Structure 1
Amino acid sequence: MFDLPELRRHIPLVVALGVDSIGTGISGPLLLLFLTRVADIPLQQAGLTLSATFAVALVVPALVGQIVPRLGGRNILIAAQVLQAAGLGGLLIARDLPTVAVCTLVAAIGQRAFWSSVFSVIADASDSGPAEDKDRWFAFTNMVQATGYALGALTAGALLLIPGDLPYLLAIGTNAVCFVVSAVLLLGDRSARQSAAADAAAPVRAHRIPTLPYLGLIGVGALFAFCSTILGSGLGVYVVDGLAAPAAVVGPLLAINTILNALGQAPAVRLTRRRSRVTVMVVAGIVWSVWGVYTAALGLAPASLIIPGLALSVLVYSVAELLHGPRSLAYAADAAPPGQRSTYLSWFQYSFALANIAAPGVFAATFGVDPGLPWIVTSVVALVACVGLALVARALPREAARP
């Protein structure tokens, strides 16, 4: 059913990614609460501090792209986990704003370094199997990470049943320990060795900044990533303020999306294995476009149809995510020039970073005009992404789009 890739040589990598995601799922939803309730930082200052550290960390993918050919993706990934563990460990004792800012910056740099190197490590692992394993590997690891995050989020909810500051301390401390465990597991993985050697053999100074077609792919990837981010950014506000539906339905709706992502990516790759990656991604964009129009139209639906209509909306949205996610990462990996995959995948991380920055602001600005407008904008963005991908794909290696 799940059409798994060859895992025997890379069990430590898979377990490390799962442990990392569990820890992130535990502390992620509680980080801001930790800063306000335990560190006693005012909410506005805490939010501004997190935003500022995330913005500063945007330089990391470009820096990682410069050094990853020399050091290898796995080594950077290990260093990223150590940085995140150090940052969160520091938060356990930080009680003033400057120290909190330093700790969150260290953690943010580690987080950005993680995402700048993990794709190349996964791609390296896929090289030990047949060519079609790349899509399976990205699908499977996405499933592992989604499952881990969901388990962590459930744990975070259970911790909140404990009174006082203890749940927040446990959440941050547990995540720090998970990062350390993940780093130790990665030390025993052999994923990056053959590809690191290939990267090292390539001309070190060639294409330090990706070629223009690949930069176009990053731009198109940002548009697709915007579509993949907008639900988490705006669903709660739309449900409560736009549709006047009960706030209690937001959690179950997001849980549906999480469960489908945790279970459905490998089957989605298997069911579309005869179609090219570009075709599947374009279909995902079209599904997102239809989803946006449909979700905006829920504002015109009778009250009795709002909740089932929202459930269908999340299902359609999840189908687009399942189609797009693993195929886009595999395409980005194979579209990179030979011997420079790790550098290019570090840069590809900007597509997600830009989307994460843009989605909340675009949602807030358009929702203020009309509650349905954010979803119409998403439909347009999805169609622009489809056209952009079709154009960019002409200038990228044809073999990268293979089924």
Structure 2
Amino acid sequence: MGHHRRFVVAMGVDAIGSGVFMPISVLYFLRTTDVPLEQVGLALSVAAAASLPVVLLVGHLVDRYGAKRILLAANAIQAAGYLGYLLVDGYLGVQLVTALVAMGQAAFWASYSPMVAAITRPGERELWYGFLGALRNVGFAVGGLVAGVAISVGTPTAFRAMVAADAASYLLALGLLLGVPAHDRRAAADRADEDGRAGALSGLSTVLRDRPFHTLIVVNTIYALGGLALNYAMPVYAVEVLRLPGWVTGAIFTLNTVMVGLGQGLAVRSMRGHRRHRIVAAGHLAYAVGFVLMAAAGLLAPVLAAVGVLVSAGIYTVGELLAGPVLTTVAVDSRPEHLRGRYLAAYQLSWNVASVLGPVGFSWLLARGPLPVWVALTAVALAGVALAPVLGRSLPIAAARVTNEAT
């Protein structure tokens, strides 16, 4: 990691805080307020919808001012939002603080990929996104273990302590990021000058007219919906539907994060020589198998169900190992550098759209029994398998082979 050490450490700290909160993102409000499950899901989806315009705005700001400044602002907003979690007790309060956090998260992710792209070179980005993804998942694992304790204790005080720790992690990460060199400062100035010369054609309208890139957005929306199952479907399914002990939720996150932390580098190295769109298809297929097995776990006795849930989560994680770094690399490398912020913001919209649909959809389906949510997610994952070849035909970079070598 060399001279990027402060950035890497900041991402690790951020990940630990996020790992503390991710397993309790829905359960927190169920344990500390009287807001019912379906209203919590609605609040999270409305919050995600409110963040959609922020993503597009951030893309422009990244192109004009550079990614570092936006990352700093994003961490400050998220810290404020999570501190607000400690004060709410009704639906309106839940809606307000989740919207603030969603906007901060949108700003973070819309500037994170451009920041990584600014410090790396084409050809090595699967390695970098894989490494940082692995690092974040190690952080998630550490945080997930702590969250598992809070879930097992089950008291409102335990849940509030986890949220306070999450807010503190964002403030610490912000302090670390202050010392990170702004690698993209000169590039941002050059892009601002080019925007001024090129006018509207170099802006958002260019992205909106780029139909081949839209295919990537659709495929990543499918991938994102599957990815959100880890946060919004699996914990509630295990604890509220199957009535499994709280440690199972922590174990799901720990398994996922340890697998990514230890296996992402191996997975990326094994991709060398394979076409990117085929790797994406394999990732979605692993998602589908994991979802089918998750549904089957609901038919088992409690002890076997706990084992089945963990096995399913492991297979599901293979999908994350395969598809995640490839899709992000395709998004970064497929379009011009001077519009990278706006293109990656449009790409990030796929996660935001999934975040609009996921919480309310998963909550609604989970309220209707153990099977509907997994049937729906399996169908979505299989759609991703079917669309992967279309992605390869739409974007040449998606049909290219992974090299893992800088160019």
Distance between the aligned counterparts of 1:254 and 1:345, measured in 2? Answer: 27
The Cα shift of 1:157 comes to: 4.6
Match in the other structure for 1:4? none
The Cα shift of 1:132 comes to: 2.8
- CA change 1:284–1:166 in 2 (3 A) is closer
1:288 aligns with 2:274: no
| TM-score, normalising length: structure 2 | 0.81
- CA change 1:401–1:339 in 2 (3 A) is farther
Match in the other structure for 2:343? 344
- CA change 1:36–1:14 in 2 (3 A) is same
The Cα shift of 1:358 comes to: 2.4
- CA change 1:183–1:87 in 2 (3 A) is same
Match in the other structure for 1:255? 254
Distance between the aligned counterparts of 1:98 and 1:303, measured in 2? Answer: 37
1:208 aligns with 2:204: yes
Match in the other structure for 2:191? 199
Any stretches of 5+ residues in structure 2 without a counterpart? 403-407
Match in the other structure for 2:405? none
Any stretches of 5+ residues in structure 1 without a counterpart? 1-6
Distance between the aligned counterparts of 1:351 and 1:71, measured in 2? Answer: 23
Distance between the aligned counterparts of 1:108 and 1:273, measured in 2? Answer: 35
Match in the other structure for 2:389? 390
1:134 aligns with 2:137: no
The Cα shift of 1:139 comes to: 0.8
- CA change 1:198–1:336 in 2 (3 A) is farther
Task: Give the match's secondary structure for 1:392.
Answer: helix
> What per-residue deviation string (whole Å, max 9, x for no partner) do you get for residues 178-222 of structure 1?
222222222222343454355335435314142222122111110
Match in the other structure for 1:147? 138
- CA change 1:285–1:195 in 2 (3 A) is farther
Amino acid at match of 2:109: W
1:319 aligns with 2:311: no
Amino acid at match of 1:132: G
Query: 2:4 touches 2:180 (CA, 8 Å); kept in 1?
Result: yes
The Cα shift of 1:323 comes to: 0.6
Distance between the aligned counterparts of 1:169 and 1:305, measured in 2? Answer: 32
Query: 1:217 touches 1:389 (CA, 8 Å); kept in 2?
Result: no
Distance between the aligned counterparts of 1:402 and 1:171, measured in 2? Answer: 43
Distance between the aligned counterparts of 1:98 and 1:242, measured in 2? Answer: 26
Task: Give the match's secondary structure for 1:126.
Answer: coil
Amino acid at match of 2:213: Y
The Cα shift of 1:137 comes to: 1.0
Mean Cα displacement is larger for which, 224-233 or 114-123?
224-233
The Cα shift of 1:308 comes to: 4.5
Match in the other structure for 1:56? 50
The Cα shift of 1:16 comes to: 1.0
The Cα shift of 1:18 comes to: 1.1
- CA change 1:230–1:201 in 2 (3 A) is same
Q: 1:176 aligns with which of 156, 162, 167?
A: 167
- CA change 1:197–1:169 in 2 (3 A) is same
Distance between the aligned counterparts of 1:306 and 1:34, measured in 2? Answer: 24
Query: 2:54 touches 2:106 (CA, 8 Å); kept in 1?
Result: yes
How many residue pairs match? The answer is 392
Distance between the aligned counterparts of 1:245 and 1:159, measured in 2? Answer: 15
Matches within 5 A, 1:210-289: 210=207, 211-236=210-235, 238=237, 249-289=248-288
